[in-house]
Amino acid sequence: MIRFEPDTWRDALLRPIAMAAPDGGVYIEVIAPDFRFAFVLLLVGLLALLWVLRRRSMSSIKPATVLFAGVAIAFAPWLMTSGNGRYFVAFILVVGPLCLGLVYLLPMTRGFRLTLAACLFAVQSFAVYESDPLKSWGMIPWREAPYFQIELPQDMATVPGTYITLSSITYSLMAPLFPEPSSWLNIASAPTDRDRTLEGRRTHAILSARGHLTLLVPSIPEYSTSEGLPDVNAIRSLNLLLADHRLAISDAAPCRLIRSGSIVSMPLVEARKKNDKRFDNAGFWACSLRYPVAVPAARPEIEKSRFDAVFDKLESICPRFFRPGEARTKVINGGELRQYSESDMKVYVLDDGAVLYKYLRTFSPQLIGTVDDVMSGKATVACDKIRGRSGLPWEREI
């Protein structure tokens, strides 16, 4: 996924400064301004200037130089491979002590250095306090153990099983409540070809080696029976999602509803409970699965697709954001869609001839042009000016 990878050399060189911006989507999804990398650049610049002017001995800066060099060297491959803060945690922890080490090297009085260190600490502490992700990011507040409330039936609480999840949010906090030998596999982004890729072969091996497979997905009260179980439409939709992985809900064993106090306590669910009593029983559906089942026939929506040539044209124009072969055409109300998960992009071709794209961090789709204009080359995508993504955080529009 290229969500946090810089698009230009300018973006890459200014990433230490951009990380201080109070914006989301810079190096992590949430708003998490980090001034420490900018502090390091300022302190290193100041020390370099003082060393030149005062011709100080380089031997006195060797430990700090090694630490700074380590962070700087790690910064480049990090940006090249992901730019995602969760994969840079070790160095994010190191950069704080590095700031203090650089302050200590300043040829100033002890009182000045202590005051400067306190100011740097105060600035970063204020940024952490103001952007506390627990105030806006957490779906469920963590207070006391167990952190996830779920009413497991006796057999699931005592007998190890293999659980298949479908949602991008895996609800992994509930895993410790299951018997320790239980296995978990999320197929939300797993490859469907079990022969051509290593990950696909591993997925097939896990599914084949396990005896009883159980689908565990959040319940949808609007598509539930009076007992809280998935209705016919819900079963059909789940089977469509499972079909590409050669999985299907077993006809012989009905699904079960597993109530969850944590799900019920989510703000969105609490708001819906006031007008819809079905949300009182929100939780998870546990459904027995069959594997392998017959390879699904070609999807009807793929056969009816009329705009594949338009999608292919855009993929040739901006392959970094519309990666060829990544997305399949889906028929939607009023047109067709391809979703490129690697770049968080969607492309819409509507029945009225309009062609649009939408980046994850924008409110509305952006018009590219008409089908005829795209195919003739009159309308194109400025790949270096993707709305919501291109440029530094303070330059982006949503």
pLDDT of 58 > 80? The answer is no
Write the pLDDT tens digit of every residue in 132-148. 876 666 667 666 777 78
Q: Which amino acid is at 204?
A: H
Contacts of residue 151, Cβ cutoff 8 Å, sequence gap at least 6: 258, 259, 260, 261, 283
Tally of CB atoms within 10 A around 186: 16
> 268, exposed or middle or buried, with CB in 10 Å at 0-12, 13-18, 19+?
exposed
Reported pTM: 0.73
Write the pLDDT tens digit of every residue in 332-359. 888 999 999 889 999 999 999 999 999 9
pLDDT of 47 > 50? The answer is yes
Residue written as token pair 């002590």: 97
Output the furthest CA–CA distance in the chain (Å, rounded): 83
Give the highest mean pLDDT range of 38-42, 57-61, 126-130, 236-240.
Answer: 38-42
Write the pLDDT tens digit of every residue in 366-386. 999 999 999 999 999 999 999
Q: Which helix (H) or strand (E) holds 59?
A: none
Q: Which amino acid is at 250?
A: S
pLDDT of 301 > 60? The answer is no
Distance of alpha carbon 235 from alpha carbon 238, whole angstroms: 5
Q: Provide the token pair at 332.
A: 């939607």
Q: Which long-range contacts (CB under 8 A, 24 or more apart) does 181-184 make?
A: 183/210
Distance of alpha carbon 37 from alpha carbon 16, whole angstroms: 5
Distance of alpha carbon 41 from alpha carbon 48, whole angstroms: 10
pLDDT of 81 > 90? The answer is yes
Dihedral sign, Cα of residue 269, residue 275, residue 280, residue 285 = negative
Cβ 15 vs Cβ 73: under 8 Å: no
